[in-house]
Amino acid sequence: MLYTITPFFLEFKTPFSIAHGTRNGTDLVFLEIIQDGIVAHGEASLPPYLPETSETVQAFIDAFFMQHPDELANLSLSLQQLHSFQQGSFAAKACVDIAFHNWFAKKEGIGVWQLLGLKNHPLPPCTFTIGMGDKESLHQKVKDGNDFSILKVKLGGENDKQIISSIREVTQKPLCVDVNQGWKDKMFALDMIHWLKEQNIIFIEQPLPKNNYDDSLWLHEMSPLPLIADESIQQPTDVVKIKDAFDGVNMKLMKCGGISEGLKLITEARKYNLKVLIGSMSESGCAITAAAQLSSRRLDRP
Ligand code: MG
């Protein structure tokens, strides 16, 4: 098997601001693997607030293939080797995991969702994300999201009510809100959620810091809107820990280590009747298409 690693800077059309800060793009790593004339691809996305970098991902992939230079013969075995190789490195594992699934599906001449034995349900509604900004940029973003029926708005800064009011000047579309842990006080969070409920908001994502479990539990009991865990949920084993503090989870391949772990996380979430959102970091169509393969599982009961 041959492989090629290509670092890439995914430059945004406009700067993107969330509660963590503002950036102009995201470092990606693309992986291409070739065997038996079949070419397959994987991707890692590396936003700056996570510990992995382009360099650590490349080092992980080189080390993994150095230790496991075996030909691709069995997907389960390859995945087992990958996910038991080193601790952490979830974006790097996602990159290789996506490429493995892509290769085996291409070999069979089927989609990855078929390879996983999933159904071909229509894709669920997809949101368009609007970062923080001034009124002019928010109005432009609403226009940019014209083709989407639901918009996702980043809050958790100083001007949350102004942001929603500015957006409501130009659209009455349903909105979901992602606070990215930006509200530090549970009473403030509850007041904001009551205010947001009057603004046709569907759900609130990660309102409080991820380590503040007791306040998240309290907020969940009090909240008039569903709460979705993002930063609070990383791997499948986290689901049971947060299941009473949220109504749903945001599964991202980069957090949990790829398609196989993402499927486990969704299955675990559905076991507790949690809603499932399939999310992404800023990623290219390679990793986003990989995540979309799991979309039919989001409503299934195990
Ligand atoms: Mg989020």
| C-beta separation of 63 from 226 below 8 A | no
How far is the centre of ligand 1, averaged over its atoms, from the C-alpha of 87 (Å)?
24
pLDDT for 105 equals 98
Single pTM value for the model: 0.94
Token pair listed for 178: 């992602």
Which residues lie at CB < 5 A from ion ligand 1?
A: 178, 205, 230
How far is the centre of ligand 1, averaged over its atoms, from the C-alpha of 71 (Å)?
37
How far is the centre of ligand 1, averaged over its atoms, from the C-alpha of 40 (Å)?
29
| C-beta separation of 293 from 113 below 8 A | yes
pLDDT for 122 equals 82
State pLDDT tens for residues 199-248.
999 999 999 999 999 999 999 999 999 999 999 999 999 999 999 999 99
State pLDDT tens for residues 143-191.
999 999 999 999 999 999 999 999 999 999 999 999 999 999 999 999 9
Question: Cα–Cα distance between 118 and 111 in angstroms, integer?
Answer: 10
pLDDT for 302 equals 46
Question: Cα–Cα distance between 284 and 52 in angstroms, integer?
Answer: 18
How far is the centre of ligand 1, averaged over its atoms, from the C-alpha of 206 (Å)?
7
Range 89-103 average pLDDT: 98
Token pair listed for 158: 């100083």
Percentages helix, strand, coil for the chain (3-state, rounded to 5) are: 40, 25, 35
Question: Cα–Cα distance between 136 and 118 in angstroms, integer?
Answer: 43
How far is the centre of ligand 1, averaged over its atoms, from the C-alpha of 229 (Å)?
8
State pLDDT tens for residues 167-180.
999 999 999 999 99
Reported confidence tier of residue 300, pLDDT bands at 50, 70, 90: low
Best CA proximity match to 250, nearest among 271, 231, 268, 263: 231
How far is the centre of ligand 1, averaged over its atoms, from the C-alpha of 192 (Å)?
17
Phi then psi for residue 203, to 5 deg, are -155, 170
How far is the centre of ligand 1, averaged over its atoms, from the C-alpha of 231 (Å)?
7
Helix (H, G, I), strand (E, B) or coil at 178: strand
Token pair listed for 222: 């009090």
Domains and CATH numbers, the chain: 2-114 (3.30.390.10), 127-299 (3.20.20.120)
Question: Cα–Cα distance between 151 and 295 in angstroms, integer?
Answer: 19
